[in-house]
Amino acid sequence: MSGEIWKFLAGLGLFIYSMGQLEDILKQVSGRSLKLFIRRNTQHLFKAIAIGTVLTAIAQSSSVVSLIVLAFVEAGIITFRNALAVILGTNLGTTMTGWIVATLGFKFDILFFSLPVIAISTLAMFLLRKNKSLFRFFSVLFALGMLFLSLSFIKESADVLVNAFPMEQFKSYPLIVFVLLGFLLTTIIQSSSATMAIALTAIYSGILSFPTAAALVIGSEVGTTMKILFWGVQGSVEKKRVAWGNFYYNIFTSVFAFVFLRWLIYFIEHILHISDPLIGLVAFQTVINLFSIVIFLPFLSIFSEWLEKYIREETSEPLVFTTPKHPEYWTLASEALAKEARRLLDSTRHFIRNTLVSDSGKQQNILSNMRKMAQPADDPQQLYEKLKKTEGDLLVYYNQLQSKISAEQDNEELWNYMATIRQTINAAKAIIDIEHNLQEFGNSINDILHMQLQEISEDWIRFEAALDAADTRLPELLSTSLAYENEKKTQILNWLKSDLINELEASTLLNVYKEITSCKKYLAGAAAQISLQEPI
């Protein structure tokens, strides 16, 4: 008996793995042509629903299509209202997997077909791995072969396990229990297709009746949205609206299906005249998704407006380091732009210090005249993106001022502030370009590379102290920085000559110190034009 349980679990694991393989392969081939196709054909609601349905039916994965749609919404290529329509279509298209499993997986000797497919596709993948198109084609065949092999394991083990289960106990459970079970199961394994395969196996083996298996499918309708919800809530506000819209819509579908479960089953058995419970179950899944689209579509605009009203951009964590609104008059604009340039320089120094200075160095209170940053040690890439977005916002503000400024001298003064801002961002870019190298140094087993983090940290603290010194002149500061870089060059070449580091490591070290010197040059140039002595 334990052997059959493991066989059932192995079959379930292979099924999930095979679906994941299909999804990964299709993500690789979903290049520019597919993305352009989606963008061109999602301008109208009915067309968007049809595209979502067809693409999901072909791809056999609603996740692939949904994640592409979320990326399009994030990039502003399609509106979230049309994206919702595509999502409605993916819910209908994903039922195709159930039809394949019900008609092929339980009607034929799938083991007889799956083994030759696996054997041929595996051999072809080995021989044709240099041909990307053929390799992907046989990869799809291999995943399909594994998919049907897993169904064979599930079906065969279920035939044995069914005799060991107390059937009466299952039949006594209320239907809502199976709805919750379907939700939990799909949320855990993240595959509504796998839940459908389990439900079909349960009907085929006599473990569950048609209504209880249908309740299991109802629960899977909500469980399958959790992956999209997880990815969506981490993006833009439009992306969040699509993800939550998909979640709320699937709740609507599940509630509708559960409330009208008895009538829906009657419709399938007596109106559609489907007597086979396997076909009836996949027809049930198709019908509830089709009916929910028909019912929900007239209210899609109202639903979209509701999402726009209640899901808004969070304001607790600003996306930029600027003041939300700037004055439009020259007498105030010059002062505002100067203040923003100081703020950006301050934020950039925090970003660089957060990246270059080790934890022990950060505890030293060197920057006595620099305001204490409110945020903790943020992710360097996220901080850099905020700095870049800040520069972009200030460029927009500067362009808006051009139509209001007539004096050439005034325009030159504003442009000097913008040049300072550009230098500040150049300093940040020099550091973000080597941030991955610094992480490699921290994880390196080479003591020389590992010790560079401490040396870089100590050197940066000295540079900041010199930069803050009131009597420091720019030429002297740059000369000191260049001399330090030349000193490190000589040291690195000696390490290479002594075989203490290899050629790649030497090249990386030379580039790191070169970028740090460039950062110092840009930062010192910006600081020379803006006084850091004034509080912000």
Question: 351 and 262 share a domain?
Answer: no
Q: Is residue 396 part of a domain?
A: yes
**Which has the closest alpha carbon to 369: 518, 481, 530?**
530
Question: 306 and 337 share a domain?
Answer: no
- pLDDT at residue 507, as a whole number: 94
What is the tally of structural domains in the chain? 2
Distance CA 527, CA 264 (A): 72
Question: 359 and 306 share a domain?
Answer: no
Question: 34 and 82 share a domain?
Answer: yes
Question: 152 and 257 share a domain?
Answer: yes
How many CA atoms are closer than 13 Å to the CA of 288, on its beta-carbon side?
32
Distance CA 532, CA 511 (A): 29
Question: 336 and 304 share a domain?
Answer: no
Q: Is residue 318 part of a domain?
A: no
Whole-model pTM over 0.85:
no
Question: 277 and 363 share a domain?
Answer: no
Q: Is residue 507 part of a domain?
A: yes
Ordered DSSP codes for 154-217: HHHHHHHHGGGS-HHHHHTS-HHHHHHHHHHHHHHH--HHHHHHHHHHHHHHTSS-HHHHHHHH
Q: Is residue 534 part of a domain?
A: no
Distance CA 474, CA 272 (A): 85
- pLDDT at residue 494, as a whole number: 94
Helix 132-161 to helix 2-29 angle (10° resolution) is: 160
**Runs of H (alpha helix) within 260-329:** 261-266, 277-296, 300-310
**Which has the closest alpha carbon to 151: 103, 80, 190?**
103
Domain end marker among 310, 343, 367? 310
Q: Is residue 365 part of a domain?
A: yes
Mention every residue, 6+ apart, whose C-beta is less than 8 A from residue 493: 506
Ordered DSSP codes for 504-529: HHHHHHHHHHHHHHHHHHHHHHHHHH
Question: 51 and 135 share a domain?
Answer: yes
- pLDDT at residue 63, as a whole number: 62
Question: 519 and 395 share a domain?
Answer: yes
Residue 473 is part of which domain span? 330-529
SS3 of residue 270 by DSSP: helix
User: In the 8-state DSSP scheme, what is residue 297?
Assistant: G
Given a contact cutoff of 8 angstroms between Cβ atoms, the answer to whether 106 and 204 are in contact is yes
**Residue 256 CA to chain centroid, in angstroms?**
31
Q: Is residue 178 part of a domain?
A: yes
Question: 196 and 279 share a domain?
Answer: yes
- pLDDT at residue 198, as a whole number: 79
Q: Is residue 320 part of a domain?
A: no
Distance CA 422, CA 427 (A): 9
Question: 446 and 345 share a domain?
Answer: yes
Distance CA 485, CA 529 (A): 24
Distance CA 69, CA 82 (A): 10
Question: 286 and 382 share a domain?
Answer: no
Q: Is residue 132 part of a domain?
A: yes
What CATH number does residue 379 fall under?
1.20.58
Query: Along the chain (536 residues), what's the average pLDDT of each consecutive run of 10 residues?
Result: 73 72 62 65 80 75 67 68 83 78 66 81 86 82 79 64 53 83 77 76 80 88 78 71 86 92 90 87 89 88 85 56 58 75 89 80 40 48 85 82 59 79 92 91 89 92 84 78 93 93 93 94 86 44
